[in-house]
Chains A and B, each alone.
Chain A
Amino acid sequence: MALELILFSFFALIAILCALGVVFHRNPVHCALLLVGVLLSLSGLFILLNAQFIAALQVIVYAGAIMVLFLFVLMLLNFRGESSVLSPGAAKGFGFLFSLLVMVELLWTALSPNGGEGGGMPPVAALPADFGSPAAIGRILYTTWLYPFEITSILLLVAVIGAVVLAKRKFA
C-alpha cells in the first residue's frame, strides 16, 4: 500500500515539474521532450488506477504518434528563438490572474466536502476482475459505444484529408 503512495508522489512530482518546463522553457524542442515526460508519468498514474489499456494507449498514441508529429513540425519549420517567451505587459498579468482563478475554482470543487448534489463522493467501488483490460474495453467499445467509435473513424479520415490539403504547397 505504501508503494502505491510512493509511486503516486513520484509520478505526480515528475508530471508537475515537466509541465512547468513545457510552459516556461525557452527552447521549443526541450518543451516537446518535457511534454513526453508529462505523458509518460501520466501513463504510470493510469496503471496505478487499474487502467492498463489506457496507459498503453497513452504511450503509443500520445508519446509515440502525436509527439513525433510535434517534433516533425518543429524541425521542418526551423523556429527562431523567441526574443521574449511570454506575452508583453498586460496580457501576461491578465493571463496569470485568470489562471489563478481557474486553479482556485478547480481546487475548491475538488476539495469541497459536499460537492455536487449527491453529497460528496460515493464509496470506492469493488472492481471486476478484468477491469481496464483490452478485452473488457473492446467488448463495451464494440457494443455500447459502437456508433461513436465508427464516427471517430470518419473524424480521423477527415483530419487526414484536411491536413494534406492544408499543408500542400500550392494552397500556402
Chain B
Amino acid sequence: MHPLAVPLVAYQILAAILFTIGVVGVLVRRSALIIFMSIELMLNAVNLSLVAFSRLHGSMDGHIFVFFVMAVAAAEVAIGLAILVAIFRKKETANVDDVHLLKG
C-alpha cells in the first residue's frame, strides 16, 4: 500500500499531547468555564485520533463517531453552561472550590 507523507502515529502523538493538556486544564484550573473548555479540548483530541484511524482503515465509521461526539459535546456544553449560569446567579462565583453545597 502507499505510505502517507505524515505517518499516522504522528497524529496519535499529537492527539495524546492535546488530550494531556486538556487533563491539565481540568485538574489545575479553578474556573468552571475553563474546565469546560479543557473538556472540549480533550473531546477534540479524541476526534483527531478517531479521524486518523478512520483514514488508516479506509472506513468512514470513525467519521460517524466524530459526528456523534460533536452532537454530545453540543448537548453537554448547553446543559453545562446553563448549570454554570444558575450557580453564578446563586453564588456569584464560577470557582469550583467555592461550590460545596452538599458539604456538611
Residues of A that sit less than 8 Å from B by CB: 1-2, 4-5, 8, 12, 15-16, 19-20, 22-23, 28, 31-32, 35, 38-39, 42, 45-46, 48-51, 53-54, 57-58, 61-62, 65-66, 69-70, 73-74, 76-77, 79, 82, 84-87, 91-92, 94-96, 98-99, 102-103, 106-107, 110-111, 121-128, 131-132, 136-137, 140-141, 144-145, 148, 152, 155-156, 158-160, 162-164, 166-167, 169, 171-172
Q: Is the CB of B5 within 8 A of A5?
A: yes
Q: Is the CB of B77 within 8 A of A66?
A: yes
Which secondary structure dominates where chain A touches chain B? Answer: helix
Residues of B that sit less than 8 Å from A by CB: 1-6, 8-14, 16-25, 27-31, 33-34, 36-38, 40-41, 44, 47-48, 51-52, 54-61, 63-64, 66-68, 70-79, 81-86, 88-90, 94-95, 97
Task: Return chain A residues, CB-CB under 8 Å to B73.
Answer: 62, 66
**Smallest Cβ-Cβ distance to B28: which chain A residue:** A95
Report if A51-B19 is in contact (Cβ < 8 Å); known contacts: A23-B24, A57-B67, A162-B82. no
